[in-house]
Homo-oligomer: A and B are copies of this chain.
Amino acid sequence: MDINGAFSQLIEVEGHLIDSMILTKILDAIMDLQGSFEILEFNVGKRKEDQSYARIEVYGESQEHLDSILRDVFRFGATVPETLEVSYSPAPRDMVLPDDFYSTTHHSTSVYMGGHWVEVEELMMDKQIVVEPDAGRARCKPIRLVEEGDLVVTGERGIRIRLPERPRGGVGIFEFMTSDASSEKPSALIIKNIAEDLRKTSERGGKIVVVAGPAVIHTGASSALAKMIQMGYVDAILAGNALAVHDVEYALFGTSLGVELDRVSGKREYRNHIAAINEVMKAGSMKAMVAKGKLNKGIFYQLIVNDVPFALASSIRDDGPIPEVIQSSVEAQSLYRELVRDADYVVMLASTLHSIAVGNMLTSRVKIACVDINPAVVTKLSDRGTSQAIGVVTDVGTFLPLLVEALEKSQAPA
């Protein structure tokens, strides 16, 4: 036999195989791992609306070699033709998985159970799938939440992944940004397009979540973000202690980390930072400060009076933290997950830590605009496949005021 590999498996794959690069990824993965393949059938979608279909025999040199190839290939949406029931076994203890557990991608995933394809709920990347065969349900769970006896999906069979498709025509801001790796893009045009996307998302009742770092305050953009909230463009904010503390400091004293933000001065009141924390401690919470009239402008004032939910996660570098900040990373993750669960559009503003945390919680269906002056952060986040994420390498202190201007203009005709 002229094929290098005595062990083989037939796989199938369907969709916009060529332009969404699904088939490319599958063949690349096989060759990267030194396997072979034979394309037994390939019905190519003739026109841009049509789907393609391929049947491919994959060859490896040993069963183990073949299995390692298949693990990769399945991540790109290939399935085996004879649909097998998904396999699972009970978690031996709380937070312990069966050894051959299945690890998820961030693409839509279904499991074949009881003769039907069941969509996995609450999908996130690098997590496990827990099934309830009687209820016909499958749910994604992080290892920490796995309880003894949970039926955890194992192996690679009976699982089907759907990669996001490339839009069938024309170029939106997402395709525009990813069509070229250069960071030198027309800033005003990008901002105008993000504003339009946000307006459309908002008009059709979509959920917009903002992830924000403290640089939003330091760069003087907090009133722009406060304005966005007031205009109704923010459905939840995910951040850390620093965003809240600096926002309160600015609202109370006009400074951020002691530096005056509205005039050029040599004044630096180092203690304002702790004084802001102290005011929250005295009142008991930012909510209580708003109720007592002690906090009457800024991001958190707007969030509270407009009943927009927020989740603040603590980190090792926090001063305070103030009461509304969740000290347990595990509890903070739960609340983050809850707030982004049905997000349609996530805007990430100058926060590596929280942006990457949130990125890991999003399926490939959610649009992401990641804004940071550091190209490394933007690359990390936007490296999630064409047409899901755009990275804007810019200064959040100039970006946000221009975005609010564009939102105001965008709304005018409505």
Please report A residues at the B interface, Cβ cutoff 8 Å: 3, 18-19, 21, 23-24, 27-34, 36-40, 42, 44-48, 68, 71-72, 75, 92-93, 95-97, 99, 101-103, 105, 126-128, 142-144, 166-173, 175-176, 179-189, 191, 193, 214-215, 218-221, 240, 256, 259, 261-271, 273-275, 277-278, 281-282, 313-321, 327-330, 332-333, 336, 352-354, 356-357, 360, 373-376, 379-380, 383, 393-395, 397-399, 401-402
| A19 touching B36, Cβ below 8 Å | no
- A315 cross-chain contacts in B, Cβ below 8 A: 313, 315-316, 329, 353, 357
Contacts of A3 in B (CB 8 A): 47
In the complex, the count of this chain's copies comes to 4
Per the bound structure, the CA–CA distance linking A275 and B333 in Å amounts to 20
Of the candidates A24, A103, A182, A266, the one having the most CB atoms from chain B within 10 angstroms of its own CB is A266
Which residues of the partner chain B approach A330 to less than 8 Å between Cβ atoms? 314, 321, 327
What's the minimum C-beta distance from A251 to chain B, rounded to whole angstroms?
15
**8 A-B contacts, Cβ less than 8 Å apart?**
A32-B265, A39-B45, A40-B46, A183-B376, A187-B221, A189-B263, A189-B264, A315-B357
Additional pairs, 6, CB under 8 Å, beyond known A318-B333, A394-B397, A401-B402: A31-B169, A176-B265, A189-B261, A394-B394, A394-B398, A398-B399
Q: Is the CB of B317 within 8 A of A356?
A: yes
The answer to whether B316 and A220 touch across the interface, beta carbons within 8 angstroms, is no
6 smallest beta-carbon distances between A and B, as pairs = A32-B266, A187-B397, A186-B220, A398-B398, A184-B218, A103-B271
Task: List the B side residues contacting A263 at CB < 8 Å.
Answer: 189
| Docked pose: A268 CA to B73 CA in angstroms | 11
Nearest chain B CB to A101 CB, angstrom units: 7
Task: Say yes or no: B329 contacts A215, CB within 8 Å.
Answer: no
Check B281–A95 contact: CB distance below 8 A: yes
